[in-house]
A and B are shown apart, each in its own frame.
Chain A
Amino acid sequence: MGRYVLRRLASAVVTLWILATIVFVMVNVLPGNVGRRVLGPFALEEDVVRYNHAIGTDRPLISQYLTSIRRVFTLNFGDSYQTGSSVNKIILPALFRSGKLALLAFVITIPISIAAGIFAARRRDKVADRVVVNAGLATTSIPDFVTAAVLMSIFCVHWKLGKVFADPPPGSSVVGQLPYLLTPALALVVAYFGYIARMSRAGVIYGLQADYARTATMKGLSKGAVMRKHILRNALAPTITVISVQVGYLFGGIIGVEKVFNYHGLGSTIINAITSHDIPVLQGAVLLVGIVYMVSTLLADVLIAFLNPRVRLETSR
């Protein structure tokens, strides 16, 4: 088990390095002069030169590259071009706010979609199953910002159940934040329900046909016990993987939802950094999304290996 985790960790480090390189290349394709863009067209040329020197954009690309890689691995992304404060002070609170929204969304999505998956698998190819499968396909394929806009017009404007702006007033309690966060979270629930439901449905259908399920049934176990003790344990592995991948992607998909509800999370931080050409913040925020993805898939792989000894053995060979 320890060796397995170490191997996975080593491969995550390599992926992070490649990722940092991809982001560096993309950002440095940027034509033009960072100092000029930040200080504006009316700044004096010597100020622009001094600024570029201070932030290091006049150094050779290779040394900028080494700095940017070092920053990724020390988790210190430097200072924001725009405000001058540390990038971490900007992106970590934003990650926390987006995380709050994501957590609420997953707390609602996971039980509902796994239950729907089991429900559909038990009624395979019947009307109820087709409804779950096709509804899942439809809702997941709609972009999140579309769902967010439609839910906002129904829940917040027509029924007046939620707030149009998702940022709760500072100092409000956990319960007090719910009316603000619930509608944007629902938009994410709609978007991620389908993936998880379809995956758990597939897992349960596979389990229902497996020999061990037949053995358990013939042993005289009730249907519920077979499902709980035998099928679900096996069907859960691919579902966990899908959920972990979704956690990573959610921080990308959340951009649209955050824009619709005017929420100051990681998504709006990224949009902001793009419009103001704040490269360190942009680099930091994008890499943070990548790190979240890698941590969540790593945790999922370890969890699956923990649940299923066969995975452990196969990969440690």
Chain B
Amino acid sequence: MSDSEKHVPQPAEVVSTPGADVLVPQSTIATTATPPTTPAELELSGVVQVSERQQARRENWRLIRRRPGFIIGVFIVLVWSVCAALGDRITPHSPLDYRAGTHLSPRAKFPFGTDEQGRDVLSRVMAGARDVMKVAPSAALLGVVFGVIVGMVMGYFGGWIDLVLGRIVEAFLALPVTLLALLAATTLGSSTTVVIGVVAALFTPVVARTVRSAVVAERDLDYVTSAKLRGESSAFVMFKEILPNVSGPIIVELTVRIGYAVFTVATLSFLGVGPQPPSPDWGAQVSEGFRSISASIWWTTFFPAAAIASLVIAVNLIADSVQSVVEAS
């Protein structure tokens, strides 16, 4: 057993362990049929394969929808999506209006109180959803796409490519994502694009490792061998043959990564990397407000902090439901 194969549980995997063994059923279905020889038969077998896979997917989707955690999670995400999409069109006050009087405690007109500049905290929390709802999913999606490509190459080709990339992946995992992101964002600036790119780049090694182990389990199965014998290109075998069969752990990884992206983006903006004042943002709001806690002014910190917590927990509830159904199938 080489060192790169050694399994070190990462936080992501403790919450989610998308194992490679999960996926055997679908691929065996695909290969037990008589091996196709003519192009027409190939076409036909492809159709059968897809419909069976679709059926399994529909069944999984039905099971996921019935889980209470999923329903609660989706509801919370929907609420924040509406806030993000409509922004100051639905907030009770303008998130930038400072004429209310500073540090008013929560009351009927300002349910979450006002901040140190006299702005309505509720309006700022609602409008603050926009940035995180844009940045976190984009970063996670991009990170998963890169991670799938790298992990696929590592698992499919093996050998020295796997060894070298494996060592680099391992080195990346020795440092917390927040720390590396902080380092990169200070040298590259803190625009939205940079945050998305940096978080995506730092998620790539983690995703690559998961995908790699799933691909290694598929690599020597008959359908891969037969595709190679047919003379298909490596890219075709990797992305047309293997990819559909490892979609389970990839989808799980994506949902888990979105949760981590919300976490990371909020932490970065708390530390000053992200949208700059006065634009409303949850992490930045906590960072502006927490110094007044010692003066018993808790609402400027508590509500944006609760907003971050609710979104992360909601995404994780969805991820957890998806994971348990995918792993049980």
Q: Which of A145, A274, A314 contacts B182, CB < 8 Å?
A: A274
- CB pair B294–A141 under 8 Å, yes or no, is no
Q: Is the CB of A22 within 8 A of B171?
A: yes
Our pick among B187, B298, B302 for the contact of A26 (Cβ within 8 Å) is B187
CB atoms of B271 and A255 under 8 A apart: yes
A256–B271 contact, CB under 8 A? Answer: yes
Query: 1/0 contact trace for B1-32 toward A, CB 8 Å?
Result: 10100101111001100000000000000000
Asked if A153 and B9 make an inter-chain contact with CB atoms under 8 angstroms apart, the answer reads no
Please measure, in the bound complex, the distance between the C-alpha atom of A30 and the C-alpha atom of B183, giving whole angstroms. Answer: 10
Q: Complex formed: what's the CA distance from A99 to B119 in Å?
A: 39
Is A26's CB under 8 angstroms from B180's CB?
yes
Contact among B14, B267, B315 with A242 in the assembled complex (CB-CB below 8 Å): B14
How many residues does chain B have at the interface if contact means C-beta atoms less than 8 Å apart? 53
Number of interface residues of A (CB under 8 A): 62
Question: At the interface, yes or no: A198 with Cβ under 8 Å from chain B?
Answer: yes
* Selected contact of A145 from candidates B1, B187, B270, B320, CB within 8 Å: B270
Within the assembled complex, what's the spacing in Å between the Cα atoms of A153 and B320?
A: 30
Name the residue in B11, B14, B313 with the highest tally of chain A Cβ atoms < 10 Å from its Cβ: B14
Q: Is the beta-carbon distance between B286 and A149 smaller than 8 angstroms?
A: yes
Q: B57 an interface residue at 8 Å Cβ cutoff?
A: no
* Contact call A11/B3, Cβ cutoff below 8 A: yes
Question: Distance in Å from the Cβ of A34 to the closest Cβ of chain B?
Answer: 12
Output the nearest chain B residue to A244 by Cβ-Cβ distance. Answer: B8
B178 at the binding interface (Cβ < 8 Å): yes
Which residues of the partner chain B approach A33 to less than 8 Å between Cβ atoms?
A: none
Provide the bound-state CA to CA distance between A14 and B298, in Å. 48
From B88-96, B247-255, B304-312, give the one contacting chain A: B304-312
Flag whether B278 is at the interface (Cβ < 8 A). no
The 8 A CB mask of B273-288 against A (1 = contact, 0 = none) is 0000000000000110
Within 8 A of B (CB), among A219-246: 238, 241-242, 245-246
B171, B172, B316: most-surrounded residue (chain A CB, <10 A): B171
Query: How far, in whole Å, are A248 and B293 apart by their CA atoms in the complex?
Result: 30
Are A270 and B293 touching (Cβ within 8 A)? no
Inter-chain CA distance A297–B170, complex, in Å, is: 12
Question: Which residue of chain A has its CB nearest to the CB of B301?
Answer: A149
What is the minimal beta-carbon distance from A245 to any residue of chain B, in angstroms? 6
Q: Does B266 make an interface contact (CB < 8 A)? A: yes
Shortest beta-carbon distance from B148 to chain A in Å: 22
Q: Given A14-B167, A18-B168, A248 and B309 touching (CB < 8 A)? A: no
Task: Pick the residue among B10, B267, B270 that contacts A245 (CB under 8 A).
Answer: B10
Say whether B186 contacts A252, CB under 8 Å: no
B176 touching A289, Cβ below 8 Å:
yes
The reply to whether A15 and B170 contact each other, CB–CB distance below 8 Å, is: yes
For B306, what are the chain A residues with a Cβ–Cβ distance below 8 Å? 150
Contact B309 A289 (CB under 8 A): no
Q: B175 at interface (Cβ–Cβ under 8 A)?
A: yes
List B contacts of A14 (CB < 8 A).
Answer: 167
Across the interface, do A23 and B170 meet the contact criterion of CB distance under 8 Å? no
Does any Cβ of A come within 8 Å of B174's Cβ?
Answer: yes
Partner of B187, one of A30, A249, A259: A30
- Could you tell me the distance in whole angstroms from the C-beta of B105 to the nearest C-beta in chain A? 13
- Report how far A270 CA is from B186 CA in the complex, Å: 11
> Known contacts being A146-B286, A274-B186, is A19 close to B171, with CB within 8 Å?
yes
CB within 8 Å for A150 and B302 given contacts A145-B267, A157-B293 = yes
Kindly state the separation between the CA atoms of A238 and B270 in the bound complex, as whole angstroms: 33
Query: What residues of A have a CB within 8 angstroms of the CB of B3 in the complex?
Result: 7, 11
Shortest distance from the beta carbon of B113 to any chain A beta carbon, whole Å: 13
- The interface residues of chain B lying within 8 Å CB-to-CB of A19 are 171, 174-175
A11 to B315, CA, bound (A): 36
Residues from chain A with Cβ under 8 Å of B142 in the complex: none
> Across the interface, do B294 and A164 meet the contact criterion of CB distance under 8 Å?
yes
Mark contacts of A183-200 with chain B using CB atoms, 8 A cut-off: 1 yes-contact digit, 0 otherwise: 000000000001100110
A297→B1 contact, CB < 8 A: no
Query: Is residue B179 within 8 Å, beta carbon to beta carbon, of the partner chain?
Result: yes
- B71 located at the interface, meaning its Cβ lies under 8 Å from any Cβ of chain A in the complex: no
Measured CA separation A14–B316 after assembly (Å): 35
CB of B325 within 8 Å of the partner chain: no
Q: Does B98 contact A (CB under 8 A)?
A: no
Q: Are B308 and A146 neighbours in the complex by a CB distance under 8 Å? A: yes
Residues of B within 8 A of A (CB): 1, 3, 6, 8-11, 14-15, 69, 167-168, 170-172, 174-180, 182-184, 186-188, 259, 263, 266-267, 270-271, 286-287, 290, 293-294, 296, 298, 301-302, 305-306, 308-309, 312-313, 315-317, 320
A-B contact pairs, 18 of them (CB 8 A): A18-B167, A22-B180, A137-B320, A140-B11, A140-B15, A141-B263, A143-B266, A149-B290, A150-B301, A150-B302, A152-B293, A153-B301, A274-B182, A274-B183, A286-B175, A290-B175, A293-B174, A315-B1
Besides A18-B168, A141-B309, A245-B8, 16 new A-B residue pairs in contact (Cβ under 8 A), listed by A number:
A138-B313, A140-B15, A143-B267, A143-B309, A143-B312, A149-B301, A150-B301, A157-B296, A195-B15, A198-B15, A241-B8, A252-B175, A256-B271, A286-B180, A297-B8, A314-B1
